[in-house]
Chain A
Amino acid sequence: MRMKITLNNRQEEFNSETLTISQIMEIKSFHFKMLVVRLNDTLIKREEYSSAQVKDGDDLKIIHLVSGG
């Protein structure tokens, strides 16, 4: 079973019916220190990354925050 999601405005496919946000970050090699995660426009806090489930059709944004301004 595969799922298709929108990750940071791009279509992505994963070989799983559902994944947690932590698993997606691991697969995508996202090792950001500061970030903002929004799943279907809802804020997901750091302590929820390992429990929040992403499923087919979801809109996920994992936004890297870097210093500078």
Chain B
Amino acid sequence: MLNFNQIKTILSKKVVGIAGAGGLGSNCAASLVRSGLGKLIIADFDVVSQPNLNRQFYFHDQIGMNKTDALRDNLLRINPMCLLQIHNTRVTEENISLLFSVCDLVIEAFDDAAQKQMLIEYMLTNHPNIPLIAASGMAGCGNLEQISLIQSGNLIICGDGSSEVSYDNPPMAPKVGIVSNMQADVALQILLSQNENENNTK
């Protein structure tokens, strides 16, 4: 067992990539920074809009800002010492390696299922040694008992695996917050155990 100072010391040397700064990415980033993570690499092309405020870690006076700029401001208010590398760009197969190959772990935090699949397939094929924590299924409210973790090697998927966001089943703060924080929790667990393994082999 580690105390919080030990946890922070280990996490301060870790680098996590977050692909997407919407409901999943912005909330996951906040939890990781609060936990003492050393460096985040965050990529998103979108702008903060009013409908985002029902679940994303942004504020009313940030509407119209690039999400990456707004998120940097918010994260630095939690910890002015954390290192943030932000990329106001769309994540594609052409830039995934440039963005995330130095990371100890990557969080898939896209909205669109096709984008999720693209990142997962690319990472498993080209960076199979970097743990990837993805999310699928967090629309609406209720049915929390459906939420689970599926692990296959270095890929972990959080969510209920079925509730798709639509006009009648919108994403809402509680469940998006739960799943994004599951991603953050799994990330901590993996990052802290990476350290144990390194110590064991020394």
Contacts and interface: CB of A to CB of B under 8 A. Distances in A.
Contact of B117 (A36, A41, A59, A68): A36
B104 to A, nearest CB: 20
A69 B152 contact: no
Nearest to A35: B117
A33 B125 CA distance: 20
A15 interface: no
Interface of B: 20, 22-25, 109-114, 116-117, 120-121, 124-125, 134-139, 150, 152-153, 155, 157, 161-165, 171, 176
A64 B137 contact: yes
A68 B153 contact: no
Contact of B23 (A33, A34, A64, A69): A69
A19 B124 CA distance: 24
A61 B149 CA distance: 12
A63 B157 contact: yes
A8 interface: yes
B163 A66 contact: yes
A69 B22 contact: yes
Given A34-B117, A38-B152, A63-B157, A68 B125 contact: no
Interface string A31-69: 001111010010101000000000000010101111111
